[in-house]
Amino acid sequence: MLRAVVAIGADLDLTATLQRIVESATELADAQYGALGVLDPTGTFLSEFLTVGIDEEHRVQIGDLPKGHGILGLLIREPRAIRLPDLREHPDSFGFPPNHPPMRSFLGVPITVHGEIFGNLYLTDKRSEDAFSDIDEELVVALAVAAGVAIDNARLHARVRDIALLEDRERIAMDLHDTVIQQLFAVGLSLQATLRLLDSDTAKRVQLAVDDLDTTIKRIRSTIFALDAPVQISGAESVRRRVVALISEMTPTLQIEPRTFFDGAIDSLTDEHIADELLTVLREALSNVARHAAATEVEIHLIAAAGRLTLRVEDNGVGPPDSPGDGRGLRNMHARAEHLRGTFTLTPRVPKGCRLEWSVPLS
């Protein structure tokens, strides 16, 4: 028992701690199979399920992980220790999915953290006996108490790590804004001031350098906004990452790699609903470019400014269709903008190509 308690407290990573807990409980009760189910925030079903005794190949054959039906659901509804000689004979038994190993004896124990149910330990098939004993139950209940402390420590460590990460991000963002951007801006102004002193060819080259500086400043500003975005502690992906992932997914279809520009506090200002609509519109826009534009260059601009989120997709292809209203995809993008009290336009791009702009107010 002491060895098991030391083992579960030996790591401050939450995932590793949970795996050690189920491994220690399985060994302590001499069970063939063990699992730890973590409850979702509502406390009604299992959002994570860690196992011992079943290899990865069999897990894949079984299919989806349990959500909390049958005996597992009973432990969710009634969070107290349950010990059964044969779980198949219990009236709440839900049966096993195909390819699941047969199981008989069962021991289930809840894990609490600060008085709230965090998850449940499930142990089946006592190796040395036909059923789990009352001593097995007492040992696993005691281990569950220690597990609650270990889980709390791991979560506190994760919060401290997130705070340290946030402080580093704020420091880097401040240095970029107060030092790097100001120096680049000063260099750009100095170059612009000398343009009138140069001949036309040299002036054009200097202007190109100024334009490159301007683009670099925009990229640094985008990086600053990304650093200022909230740390994704819950595991939810940021809007920027979702956009980048979608572009990466669509690049083989486009057969060209789009240039992507972000500007503004996109992650902080864009809620989940607008983000979902944005990604749907972006996917349709890139699909249209791939099917109809015959373009060799594509630029994607995503801007959060003046209370609006604006998506602009530009290409150097054949230009907009003669009758934009004929396309279902274009009508859908227009309808999504109207639904969010926004605007949608499709216009020619100079010297050639097409510019799609989808803009909606940010709540």
How many structural domains comprise the chain?
3
Strand-pair category, 308-315 with 298-305: antiparallel
Question: Can you give the residue range of the structural domain that contains 182?
Answer: 163-228
Nearest to 261 by CA among 278, 244, 285: 244
Residue 43 within any structural domain of the chain: yes
**Max CA separation in the chain (angstroms):** 95
Sequence-separated (6 or more) residues with CB below 8 Å from residue 340: 274, 277, 360, 361
CATH number of the domain encompassing residue 124:
3.30.450.40
Q: Domain for residue 197, yes or no?
A: yes
Mean pLDDT across 181-210: 86
Residue among 38, 54, 156 nearest 102 (CA) = 54
For residue range 91-101, list pLDDT tens digits in order: 887 777 787 88
pLDDT confidence tier of residue 171, bands split at 50, 70 and 90: confident
pLDDT the model gives residue 189? 86
Q: H/E/C letters for each residue in 180-206? A: HHHHHHHHHHHHHHHHHHCCHHHHHHH
Element (DSSP H or E) covering residue 18: helix 14-28
CA–CA separation, 333 and 140 (whole Å): 56
**pLDDT for residue 56 is more than 90:** no
Residues 195 and 177 reside in one and the same domain: yes
Q: How far apart are CA 333 and CA 278, in angstroms?
A: 9
CA–CA separation, 80 and 62 (whole Å): 28
Q: Is 203 domain-assigned?
A: yes
Boundary (domain end) residue, out of 183, 204, 228: 228
CA distance 8 to 285: 50
% of the chain beyond a pLDDT of 90: 38
Q: Residue 233: inside a domain, yes or no?
A: no
pLDDT in the model for residue 235: 43
Is the same domain home to 270 and 356? yes
Residue labelled with tokens 């946030």: 166
Least confident of 277-281, 302-306, 352-356: 302-306
CB neighbour class for 177 (10 Å; exposed up to 12, middle 13-18, buried from 19): middle
Q: Tell me, what DSSP letter sits at residue 231?
A: P
The pLDDT, as a whole number, for residue 16 is 86
**Does the residue 316 lie in any domain?**
yes
